[in-house]
Each structure stands twice: as structure tokens, then as C-alpha cells.
């Protein structure tokens, strides 16, 4: 462990803005990384209402904040307030990281990269894989983009068919691949999961406090499936528990969370992030919320 500098006149400030942010694990994750590397930075939570978003973004400039993560509900609304959006975030249509580069605010997206690293870390090769992606929100779009870039065959299922169709059409236009879009009802889930090899939950179903909910009934899951639930709170979701009971391999959202944080850290500081330590810090913070 390096010597940790005191907060002083040169301390770099990073943070996360969202509403709510009270249960964010990002401060624990990033401050652990700064401490471990002996870097003179702090990472703070900023609870920003939708009405104050423009003022908060101006505040990043005015206060010379080095970097900011953006979370629910601001990932889309923040886009027109920034000076530049990198091509990946433009295509995904959501920004989860802002880099203050000498006063210019650049929006990026590390959710897609985080999801890809999750797959790589678990030895999942998406090339030619039949995938059912549940949900069509910001996280789903990052997941779909990542999977399509690796050559997966994707069906998007969403509560509203129109949401699935919109997401599929935009992702197809950006990636040049065909997507199937379906309403997420019992018949379509049964049909899609019968052919899917990988199932990804990118809805918020099962997230705390609704920890007993799952988007998929257990009978539809079997040994042939790998199930990735990007929900990370709780660390083990009902969907993951059901998948394991059905003999499927299951992966939770903690890996993706740690990776999106690590990639943000690298954008702001230009240094390699201590991924394992960040993952442990995130898990520790989540456990303290669960207890």
C-alpha cells in the first residue's frame, strides 16, 4: 500500500452523478484504487436531480472536476450538455463517463467495454452464439453493441414491443447485423430461450429491493444456457440462483461493474486500474448494504 496523500490544494476530484446515488458503490471502488496507487484524488457521490443536470454539468467545468460517472437517470439527458461525445457512446446513445480534458467535457461509454471484459474473463466467445437479451434500455444497448461487435446472433425481448423494435433497428443500423425484436411475454420467452445459448438480463428486474423477482421462469432454464445477469445488487440475483439450480452457468453484474469503473479510471488518470481491488471494494460495499 502506497502512502496516501492528504487532501490538499492539488487533490483531483472525480465523482458520480445520478438520482439516487446513496447506494452507489463507485465511491468505494474508486477511492480504494486511488489509495492503493497513492494518487492524490478523491471520488465523491453527487445527487443531482433532473432539473439541476445542466447546472451540475456546468459545475464540472467551473470546479475543474477531473472526471465524472453518470448513472440513472441521466445517461441520455446529459448528451446534449457535453462538448463532445465519443463515437461509441454516440452509437449506444448513452454516456456513463465524462472526461474533463482541459475544460472540454467528453462523454464516453464504458458499459459496453465492461460487458465485453466480463465475457472475456469468463471465457465466453460470442461469435455465432444465439443470445437472448432481455431489456432495451441504456444498459441493454451497450450489451447488444458489445455482443454484435463479437458476432453474436441476438434476439432483444422487452416489456414493450416498440422499445425492443426501436433498440433492434438502431443497433442494426450501427452494427450492420440483423437483430430480432420481440415483446417479452411468456410465449416469446419460451421460444427464444429454447434456441438461446446465452441469456443476458439487462432489465432492472431482480434488483434490490425486488430481490425475489426474475424476468424468466425457472422451467425455461437448462444446462445448455449460460446466464449473465448484469444486475449487481444483490450480488447473486434470483435469476442466477434459478439458473444454477437448472444446471446452467451463471455470471452476475459485478465483473461488468468493476470493469466499467476500471475503464473510467483509466480514461481520467491514464493509469492502469487495479481491477481486482476495485472488484473487492465494490463487493464489500454491496455486502454492507445487504447486511
Nearer to ligand NAP, 211 or 249 (CB): 211
Stretch of 119-127, 153-161, 187-195, 235-243 lying at the interface with ligand NAP (CB under 6 A): 153-161
By CB under 6 A, tell whether 93 contacts ligand NAP: no
By CB under 6 A, tell whether 160 contacts ligand NAP: yes
Shortest distance, position 232 Cβ to ligand NAP, whole Å: 5
Query: Binding to ligand NAP (CB under 6 A): which residues in 195-254?
Result: 202-205, 207, 230-232, 253
Shortest distance, position 79 Cβ to ligand NAP, whole Å: 14
Catalytic residue, candidates 2, 10, 75, 245: 75
Shortest distance, position 272 Cβ to ligand NAP, whole Å: 19
Q: CB–CB of 13/41 below 8 Å?
A: yes
Q: Is 75 a catalytic residue?
A: yes
Query: Binding to ligand NAP (CB under 6 A): which residues in 122-151?
Result: 135-140
- Count of residues interacting with ligand NAP (CB under 6 A): 25
Encoded one letter per residue, x for contact with ligand NAP by CB under 6 A and - for no contact, window 37-76 reads -----------------------------------x----
Query: Binding to ligand NAP (CB under 6 A): which residues in 243-282?
Result: 253, 256-257, 260
By CB under 6 A, tell whether 108 contacts ligand NAP: no
Mapped to the 3 state alphabet, what secondary structure does the chain carry?
CCCCCCCCCCCEEEEEEECCCCCCCHHHHHHHHHHHCCCCEEEEEEECCHHHHHHHHHHHHHCCCCEEEECCCCCCCCHHHCCEECHHHHHHCCCCEEEEECCEEEEECCHHHHHHHHHHHCCCCCCCCEEEEECCCHHHHHHHHHHHHCCCEEEEEECCHHHHHHHHHHHHHHHCCCEEEEECCHHHHHHHHHHCCEEEECCCCCCCCCCCCCCCCHHHCCCCCEEEECCCCCCCCHHHHHHHHCCCEEECCHHHHHHHHHHHHHHHHCCCCCHHHHHHHHHHHHHHHHC
Nearer to ligand NAP, 260 or 269 (CB): 260
Contact residues toward ligand NAP (CB under 6 A) are 72, 111, 114, 135-140, 158-160, 163, 202-205, 207, 230-232, 253, 256-257, 260
Q: Give the residue numbers marked as catalytic.
A: 75
Amino acid at each position: 500500500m502506497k502512502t496516501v496523500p492528504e487532501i490538499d490544494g492539488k487533490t483531483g476530484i472525480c465523482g458520480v452523478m445520478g438520482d439516487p446515488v446513496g447506494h452507489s458503490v463507485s465511491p468505494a471502488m474508486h477511492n480504494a484504487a486511488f489509495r492503493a496507487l497513492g494518487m492524490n484524488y478523491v471520488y465523491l457521490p453527487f445527487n443531482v436531480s433532473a432539473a439541476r443536470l445542466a447546472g451540475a454539468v456546468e459545475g464540472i467545468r467551473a470546479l475543474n472536476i477531473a472526471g465524472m460517472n453518470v448513472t440513472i437517470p441521466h445517461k441520455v439527458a446529459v448528451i446534449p450538455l457535453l462538448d463532445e461525445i465519443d463515437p461509441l457512446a454516440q452509437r449506444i446513445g448513452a454516456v456513463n463517463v465524462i472526461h474533463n480534458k482541459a475544460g472540454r467535457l467528453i462523454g464516453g461509454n464504458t458499459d459496453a467495454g465492461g460487458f465485453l471484459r466480463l465475457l472475456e474473463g469468463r471465457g465466453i466467445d460470442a461469435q455465432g452464439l444465439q443470445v437472448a437479451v432481455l431489456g432495451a434500455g441504456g444498459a441493454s444497448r451497450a450489451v447488444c453493441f458489445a455482443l454484435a461487435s463479437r458476432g453474436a446472433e441476438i434476439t432483444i425481448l422487452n416489456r414493450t414491443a416498440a422499445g425492443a423494435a426501436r433498440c433492434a433497428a438502431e443497433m442494426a443500423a450501427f452494427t450492420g447485423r440483423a437483430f430480432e425484436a420481440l415483446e417479452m411475454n411468456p410465449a416469446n420467452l419460451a421460444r427464444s430461450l429454447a434456441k438461446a445459448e446465452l441469456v443476458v438480463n439487462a432489465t432492472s428486474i431482480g434488483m434490490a429491493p425486488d430481490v425475489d423477482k426474475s424476468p424468466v421462469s425457472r422451467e425455461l432454464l437448462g444446462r445448455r444456457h449460460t446466464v449473465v445477469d448484469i444486475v449487481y445488487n444483490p450480488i447473486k440475483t434470483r435469476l442466477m440462483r434459478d439458473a444454477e439450480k437448472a444446471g446452467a452457468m451463471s455470471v452476475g453484474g459485478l465483473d461488468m461493474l468493476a470493469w466499467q469503473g476500471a475503464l473510467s479510471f483509466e480514461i481520467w488518470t491514464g493509469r492502469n486500474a487495479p481491477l481486482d481491488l476495485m472488484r473487492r471494494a465494490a463487493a464489500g460495499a454491496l455486502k454492507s448494504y445487504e447486511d
